[in-house]
Structure 1
Amino acid sequence: MYEAMNKGRTAAMMWLLAWLLLLPALACAKGPAPANVVLVVGDSLSAAHNIPAASGWVNLLQQRVNQQIKPPPTIVNASISGETTAGALTRLPGLLSKHRPRVVVIELGGNDALRGLTPAQLRGNLEKMITASQAAGAKVVLLGIDVPPNYGPAYRDRLRKTYADLASQYKVPLLPFLLEGVALQPSLMQSDGLHPTAAAQLKVLDNVWPVLKPLL
């Protein structure tokens, strides 16, 4: 009888040990918690095009969160000059896996418009980026863009509607136009008429801040 009891206790101990060894694997299967990271995925408007990197609005954002948010998140700027929604969509899975952001800021669409992509194509790519970010546990902020008047009112209206519809459908905060109060001020724009100067970057950040801050 004692031998049977010992065998029973041994089996129970082995089962308990196996369960304890399995717990870490089960925890990992749920995926790691998001890091305190804000990932900015944009184009030249966020990549400090033709100005010192330290002057760009994304770098200024890091300075602001250091002062106002405790603990401050780390701002990761994955913006590339010339980036399109298609290119960013290709890069996004790797960025999400590497940085595990709590917030993803998407600032794209200008180069799509310059290349003649339709708003429907733009919407499809942005939609996939939003859903992939949300599936990874991140909140999303959408920063809209506008195009020059020579594109025509119909195209501009469809472009604006694309951002508004996505923001409504996926319940993400939207800044309708990143360069509000900047784009029509020659003193704040570079000679190409497309990119803001270093002096304009604080205004750009001030546009973004009210939309982004509640998520931090």
Structure 2
Amino acid sequence: MRFAPVALLSCLLAFAGCKADQANRRSSDIDVAAAASAARARAASKPLSHEEAARVDDGRPVIACFGDSITAGYGTAAGESYPDDLQRLLDQAGYRYRVVNLGVSGNTTKDGLDRVDRVMSLSPAITVVEFGGNDGLRGIPVANTRKNLDQILDKLAPTRTQIVLAGITLPPQFGQEYVRSFDETYHLAAEKHRIPLLPFIYKDVYGVPGYIQPDGVHATAAGNRQVAKNIFNMLQPLLKK
């Protein structure tokens, strides 16, 4: 069969157009796949917020870091909170867990109790509970703090998440009796609920030059790296590869 020159040219142009469309589709498919892969890599290398965690489920067990500004990473740049550093430590050690940062600056134990359902919705394998500092700084009666903390732990218990508790202390100007009673809160809660306790989350942080911000309360990026090590060491007996 013979083609007229115009007809032959039309066929060649149509064929070239089809090839270009196919190449564009392949290129588009590659771009989409690359973007998805990059998103998964980003999710694997940093802790997620509650909203992000609700959208991303990559099959890894969740470690929920549930607390106040100490957990949130107040006063440090993005990527410098202790949950960020905990995620890096887990990755480096070959543990496949996904850290979710559920810290909110300014939260008291009462605020934590109001938010505990958000933790439960993630079905975490492990939950690090860190509250109380704002209660103490505001002079909230220790009995109230104990009651709220007990209720947080009571609500988490049926979910079968492995709970670990991180404590804090107060400056001496709050009075010897108040500080003693406040500190005892964490020991009593750990004993009652039979959970591991890190009595002072700022172990090897407070008093170390460069580890505490000028406000005298919050850790710097360097301090948060040490906090993450403290938490990681406490979690190790619970971790599985």
TM-score greater than 0.5 by the shorter chain: yes
One-letter code of the match for 1:200? Answer: G
2:229 to 193, 203, 206: 206
Residues of 1 paired with 2:136 and 2:80: CA distance?
A: 26
Matched, 1:76 2:100: yes
Q: Which amino acid aligns with 1:124?
A: K
1:107-144 C-alpha deviation (Å, 9 max, x unpaired): 11001111111111111111111111111111111000
Distance 2:223 2:234 in 1: 18
Structure 1: 4+ residue segments shifted above 3 A: none
| 1:188 counterpart (202, 211, 215) | 211
After TM superposition, give the deviation of residue 185 of structure 1 in Å. 2.8
Partner of 2:113: 89
- Whichever residue aligns with residue 97 of structure 2, its letter is P
Local SS of the residue matching 1:187: coil
Q: How far 1:213 sits from its partner (Å)?
A: 1.7
Q: Is 1:143–1:177's contact at 8 Å kept on the other side of the alignment?
A: yes
In the other structure, the counterpart of 2:87 is 62
Counterpart contact for 1:146–1:156, Cα < 8 Å: yes
Distance 1:147 1:59 in 2: 25
Deviations 1:46-87 (A, max 9, x none): 1111111211111011111112244x1111111011111111
8 Å Cα contact 2:86-2:231 kept in structure 1: no
* Aligned-partner Cα distance in 2 for 1:110–1:95: 20
- The answer for the alignment partner of 1:102 in structure 2 is 125
Q: Which amino acid aligns with 1:167?
A: A
Unaligned 5+ residue runs, structure 1?
1-33
Distance 2:155 2:142 in 1: 20
1:181 shift after superposition: 2.1
SS in 1 for 2:103: coil
2:53 paired with 1:44: no
Which blocks of at least 5 consecutive residues in structure 2 are unaligned? Answer: 1-58
Cα deviation, residue 150, structure 1:
0.4
Q: Tell me, in whole angstroms, the C-alpha distance in 2 between the residues paired with 1:155 and 1:206.
A: 29
How far is the alpha carbon of 1:35 from its aligned partner? 7.0
The residue aligned with 1:14 is none
Paired residues, what number? 181
Give the distance between the partners of 1:122 and 1:207, measured in 2 at CA.
Answer: 24
Work out whether residues 39 and 103 of structure 1, in 8 Å CA contact, stay in contact via their aligned partners in 2. Answer: yes
Q: Is the 8 A contact 1:35 1:101 kept in 2?
A: no
**Do the aligned residues in 2 keep the contact of 1:103 with 1:140 (CA within 8 Å)?**
yes
- Structure 1 residue identity aligned to 2:136: A
Show the counterpart of 1:136: 159
User: C-alpha root-mean-square deviation of aligned residues, in Å?
Assistant: 1.5
- SS of the residue corresponding to residue 46 of structure 1 reads helix
TM superposition score normalised by structure 2: 0.72
Equivalent residues of 2:205, 2:227 under 8 A apart: yes
SS at match of 1:201: helix
